[in-house]
A and B are shown apart, each in its own frame.
Chain A
Amino acid sequence: MSNKLAVKWGIIIAILLGSLYLIYPNYKWYSKPLAERETLDTLGERPKRMLNLGLDLRGGSSLLLELEVAKLSGKEPLNEAMARAIEIIRNRIDQYGVAETSITKQGDKWIMVQLPGVSNPQRAEELIGKTAMLEFRIVKNDTTEAQKAFEKLEATDKPFDDDGNLIPSIAQLVPAGMQIMRNKDGGYSLVTDTASVTGADLENARVVMMGENGYPEVSFTFNAEGAKKFGQLTGANIGKQLAIVLDNTIQSAPVVQSRITKDGRISGTFSAEEARALAIVLKAGALPAPVKVIEKKTIGPTLGEDSIKSGLSASFYALVLILIFMAIYYKAAGVIADIALLLNFVFTVAIMSYFSATLTLPGIAGMILSLAMAIDANVLIIERMREEKLLGKPVYEIINLGYDKAWSAIFDSNITTIIVGACLLQFGTGPVKGFAVTLIIGLVVSLFTAVFVTRAIYELILTSNTKEISL
Chain B
Amino acid sequence: MMNLFPKTHIDFLKYRKVYFSLFGAILVLGVICFFVKGFNMGIDFTGGTMVQVQFNAPVDMAQVRSALTATGANSELQSYGDNTFSVSEKSTEQEVGVVQARIEKALDTLKVPYTVQQTNSVGPAVGESMTERALWAILLSLVFIIIYVAFRFSNILWGVSGVVALFHDLFVMAVAFSLTGREIDLVVVAAFLTVAGFSINDTIVIFDRMRENIRLHPKMSFAELINTSINETLSRTVITTLTVLFALLILYFFGGEVINSFAFAMLIGCISGVYSTIALTTPLVYTWSHGQFNDGSKPANAQNVEAFVKEQNNRNYKRNRKNKRR
Contacts and interface: CB of A to CB of B under 8 A. Distances in A.
Interface of A: 56, 64, 66, 107, 119, 293-300, 302-303, 306-307, 309-311, 313-315, 317-319, 321-322, 325-326, 328-331, 361-362, 365-366, 368-369, 372-373, 375-376, 379-380, 383, 386-387, 389, 405, 408-409, 412-413, 415-417, 419-421, 423-424, 426-432, 435, 439, 471
A interface secondary structure, majority: helix
Interface stretch (B59-67, B188-196, B218-226, B313-321): B188-196
A298 B115 CA distance: 12
A297 B198 contact: no
B189 A296 contact: no
Contact of B200 (A313, A318, A365, A413): A413
Contacts of B96: 293-296
A64 B96 CA distance: 10
B189 A432 contact: yes
B116 A298 contact: yes
A328 B242 CA distance: 14
Nearest to B162: A416
B282 to A, nearest CB: 15
Nearest to B144: A419
Given A311-B259, A409-B205, A383 B236 contact: yes
A416 B244 contact: no
A64 B126 contact: yes
A435 B190 contact: yes
A446 to B, nearest CB: 12
A429 B125 CA distance: 14
A306 B80 CA distance: 13
B52 interface: yes
B258 interface: yes
Interface of B: 1-4, 52, 96-97, 100, 115-123, 125-126, 129-130, 133-134, 136-138, 140-141, 144-145, 148-149, 152, 186-187, 189-191, 193-194, 196-198, 200-201, 204-205, 207-209, 211-212, 232-233, 235-236, 239-240, 243-244, 246-248, 250-251, 253-259, 262
A443 to B, nearest CB: 9
A429 B198 CA distance: 21
A87 B34 CA distance: 46
B63 to A, nearest CB: 22
A294 B189 contact: no
A469 to B, nearest CB: 11
A293 B97 contact: yes
B253 to A, nearest CB: 8
Contacts of B126: 64, 294-295
A420 B52 contact: no
Given A294-B96, A420-B197, A380 B144 contact: no
A379 B116 contact: no
A417 B243 CA distance: 18
A168 B250 CA distance: 64
Contacts of A387: 232
Contacts of B122: 294-295
Contacts of A306: 256
B156 to A, nearest CB: 15
B141 to A, nearest CB: 4
Nearest to B200: A416
A420 B145 contact: yes
B145 A419 contact: yes
A431 B262 CA distance: 13
30 contacts: A64-B123, A66-B123, A294-B123, A294-B125, A298-B120, A300-B116, A310-B255, A311-B258, A314-B256, A315-B255, A329-B4, A361-B259, A362-B262, A376-B201, A379-B239, A383-B239, A408-B208, A412-B207, A413-B205, A415-B148, A416-B148, A420-B141, A420-B145, A427-B137, A430-B186, A431-B186, A432-B134, A432-B137, A435-B194, A471-B1
Given A362-B187, A432-B190, A311 B255 contact: yes
A307 B123 contact: no
Given A314-B259, A419-B144, A427-B136, A299 B243 contact: no
A384 B219 CA distance: 23
Contact of A297 (B121, B140, B208): B121
Given A300-B117, A306-B256, A311-B258, A420 B193 contact: yes
A64 B121 CA distance: 10
